Structure 1
C-alpha cells in the first residue's frame, strides 16, 4: 500500500487489504486507487489487463454498515457500492492514467447502474485518497464530459472505508472453481459479461477508445 494513503478513513482499508489481495505479493513501493464501476467482477477483470496493475481486490464502499456482506449490499439498503481497489506500480503507470482508463471501461452517462445491473450498489464513482487525486479525478471527469458532450453521472469523492468482499468474489473472472450449475466461475463470468452486454455498450459509447489503456479485456 502507498505510504501516502495510510491515513484517516483509508487506514483500516489498507490494513485489511493485505489479506485479500488477489494476485502477487504486495510490493513495498506501490500505490492504490479505488473505483466503483458496476459489477466488481467486471471491473476487476478489466483492471487485471491494465499495465502496471499488480493486484485487484473486490469490495464495498460508501455505505453505513461496517464490514458489509454481499447479501446485505444487494438489498440496496446499506448505501454501499461494489468497488475495486487497484494496487499499481507508479513507475509503470499513474493515477491519472488509471482514472482515464476507468472512464473508458464504463458507461459514465448512466446514473441508474451499469449495463444490465441497476441499483445504487452498481452506480459509478472514483474514490480519491488525497486532495491531489481528487483534483486529478475531477479534471478527468471534466475531460470525459467534453469528449462525450454529455453530463457525466460518475461521482468523484474522497474515499471512505473500503471493505474487501468475501473470498468467493475475489478473482472470480478467471477462477477454475466449479459452481453448483456445473460451470467454473470463469465460465459463469464469461456468460454473465456477454449476456449483460458490457462490451457492446462500452464500444457504442467510446468507439475506438473503448477499453482505452488495457492490454485486452474479458
Structure 2
C-alpha cells in the first residue's frame, strides 16, 4: 500500500475514533445546563487562552447565555500588538478570547468548566496542532472569579491530571 492510501486510512480511523469518543462519557461529568429565560441585560466577562483563538471562540460563542466571544491577545508586555508581532515572538501574548455573558443565564463556573474540557491542560507547548508560546493556555480571572476558576481547575485535575 502506497503512502497516500495509508494516510487516508489513518485519517479515517482517527476521525472515526474522535466521533465515537464524543458520544461516550460519564453523564456525571457533564456541566449543568444553562438557565433558560429571557436575557437579563446584565453582562460579565471572562477571558480564556486555549490555543488558537478561533477554536476557543467557537467553543463558547454558541453556548446559551453567551452574548459574544471575541478573539484577541492577553497576558503580554506589548501594548496593542499586531498578529505579526505576536507570531514573531517576544511580546509574551497568548491568543485569547473575551467571553461576554449573561450571568442570569450561564455562570462563570459553567464557562470555566467548558474551557477545561476543550483544551489539553497537560501540554505546555501549545494546543493540538498549534505549537508555540502564543498558543499556550491560561484563565485570566478577576479577583472574584479566581476562587471559582481554581475550584474548577482542581476538579478537572482530579479527572485528567494537573495542568502545566
> Do both share a fold (TM > 0.5)?
yes
2:75 to 62, 74, 90: 62
Tell me the SS of whatever aligns to 2:121.
Answer: coil
2:138 aligned with 1:125, yes or no? Answer: yes
2:75 and 2:92 in contact (8 A); partners too: yes
Tell me the SS of whatever aligns to 1:36.
Answer: strand
**Shift, 1:30, TM fit:** 0.9
**Shift, 1:132, TM fit:** 2.4
Tell me the SS of whatever aligns to 1:132.
Answer: coil
Q: Runs of 5+ in structure 2 lacking a partner?
A: 1-39
CA RMSD of aligned residues (A): 1.2
- Specify the alignment match of 1:139 in structure 2: 151
2:163 to 149, 152, 167: 152
Q: Runs of 5+ in structure 1 lacking a partner?
A: 1-26, 154-218
| Residues 1-218 of structure 1: pairs in structure 2 closer than 5 A | 28-129=41-142, 131-148=143-160, 150-153=161-164
Tell me the SS of whatever aligns to 1:86.
Answer: strand
Tell me the SS of whatever aligns to 2:81.
Answer: coil
**Shift, 1:49, TM fit:** 2.0
d(CA) in 1 for partners of 2:81, 2:104: 34
2:50 and 2:137 in contact (8 A); partners too: yes
d(CA) in 2 for partners of 1:127, 1:109: 18
Tell me the SS of whatever aligns to 1:104.
Answer: helix
**Residue-pair matches, total:** 125
From the CA coordinates, give the structure whose radius of gyration is larger: 2
d(CA) in 1 for partners of 2:103, 2:153: 21
d(CA) in 2 for partners of 1:152, 1:127: 15
d(CA) in 1 for partners of 2:144, 2:68: 23
d(CA) in 2 for partners of 1:73, 1:128: 22
Tell me the SS of whatever aligns to 2:89.
Answer: coil
Tell me the SS of whatever aligns to 2:153.
Answer: helix
TM-score (norm 1): 0.56
Q: Where has structure 1 moved over 2 Å in runs of 4 or more?
A: none
d(CA) in 1 for partners of 2:105, 2:114: 14
